[in-house]
Structure 1
Amino acid sequence: MTTDERFLLLTYRVPSTTSRARVAVWRELKRLGALYIQQAVCVLPGREGVRQRLDKVRERIDELGGESMIFVLADVEERERRKLVESFRENSAKEYAEIVEECETKFFKEIEFERFRENYTFEEAEEIRQDLEKLRRWLQKVEERDWMGAPGRDLAREKVAECERLLDQFEADVYERVGDPGAI
């Protein structure tokens, strides 16, 4: 990150008649990787593509009957810049840790459990493959919004790769035990 990097500050207000609108906007902004400074005030780095995605969120705010304003922060004090960068890193690091936890506590255990049950079926292998695809998509999304190079990326990639190896071994065992599903 360069010290002349700009940040985008979004302030918004949505009707308070239901929490649905507020939650919808919050969810979209969190998915984008926004860092909340306070309620309805968040910051994003002024990176390529972020502004366009933020404009789509603003359109959603308008559709919900709300209002929003964007400010480009070009001259951020060094102390605040460090705080922003560290907060972005912390958020991404937490997400990487969640992926690692998902791999270790759910994915690995699922394959171990199916082996224990001797549930060697193509249906089970396909179900586990879908779980792997979810992990891959999740990791990709976290990497896309990890603008500040958070720790944990390499470990998360390693764990997802380990999930793939375990699944490949499980699928090979299924094939060995059940045979070719296309054979007649």
Structure 2
Amino acid sequence: MVAVSTAGGADSLRVHVWRKLRGLGAVYVQQSVCLLPDRPPVAETVRALADKVRAGGGTARCLHLTLTDPIERGELIGAFRASVTAEYGEVLERLPAFFAEIETETAKGHTTFAEVEESEADLARFEAWVAKIDARDYFAAPIGAEVRAELDRARKAMKAFEAAALAAETAPHTDTGRGAVRLRAVEGRGPRP
């Protein structure tokens, strides 16, 4: 259990504490009091956070609890899972737009390096987002497997889109009959000679 008060500290400290605890997947039981699993990386981060709070003029208490009631333990695990399930659900809501974008650009013949880079950046954001959720999925929420499968499908779609762009931009030019590589001009925003 972590109890934190940043009264007397800077507003930025309060925001930092909130972000750090939420980033760890804390389940709040009341204002300024939350629970986290007692795992070495989590405990280390919480100790460092408590030190920062104290140095910033606030108070922090870190207490180790043992839940002996199986019902209470199950409810708490359910609360942790519900939190990450909501986050995973948001990923599942947004991934279809990624697939639709690739399908639309492919259908329009916009299989270009620029489009690949844009989609690659979108995929990287999804991967980073899911990695953060995975890190706080302490009790293996069932939806996590579905999200990871969809993310894998997104990686495969990205590889296929990249291959299509490469093929489109390096296809042999049919006019010369010599197998010359055809490069398609991509309009840029930079200065022109």
Shorter-chain TM-score bucket reads: 0.7 to 0.9
Q: Which residue of 1 aligns with 2:177?
A: none
How many angstroms does 1:63 deviate by?
Answer: 4.2
1:15 paired with 2:12, answer no
How many angstroms does 1:83 deviate by?
Answer: 1.6
Aligned-CA RMSD value: 2.2
Q: Which residue of 2 aligns with 1:4?
A: none
Match of 1:114 among 94, 99, 105: 105
TM-score, scaled to structure 1: 0.83
Q: Is the 2:6–2:14 contact (alpha carbons within 8 Å) kept by the matching residues of 1?
A: yes
How many angstroms does 1:53 deviate by?
Answer: 1.3
Q: Which residue of 2 aligns with 1:176?
A: 167
Match runs of 1:24-35 below 5 Å: 24-35=16-27
Q: Give the number of equivalent residue pairs.
A: 173
Distance 1:120 1:38, change over 3 A: same
How many angstroms does 1:17 deviate by?
Answer: 7.3
Q: Which residue of 1 aligns with 2:62?
A: 70
Match of 1:92 among 80, 84, 97: 84
How many angstroms does 1:18 deviate by?
Answer: 6.2
Distance 1:17 1:54, change over 3 A: closer
Match of 1:50 among 28, 31, 42: 42
Match of 1:150 among 123, 134, 141: 141
Distance 1:76 1:26, change over 3 A: farther
1:127 paired with 2:118, answer yes
TM-score, scaled to structure 2: 0.80
Q: Which residue of 1 aligns with 2:153?
A: 162
Unaligned 5+ runs, structure 2: 172-180, 184-193
Larger Rg over CA atoms: 2
Distance 1:54 1:160, change over 3 A: same
Normalized per residue, which structure has more strand?
Answer: 1
> Residue deviations 1:30-70, cap 9 Å, x none?
11111111111100011232100111222332343211001
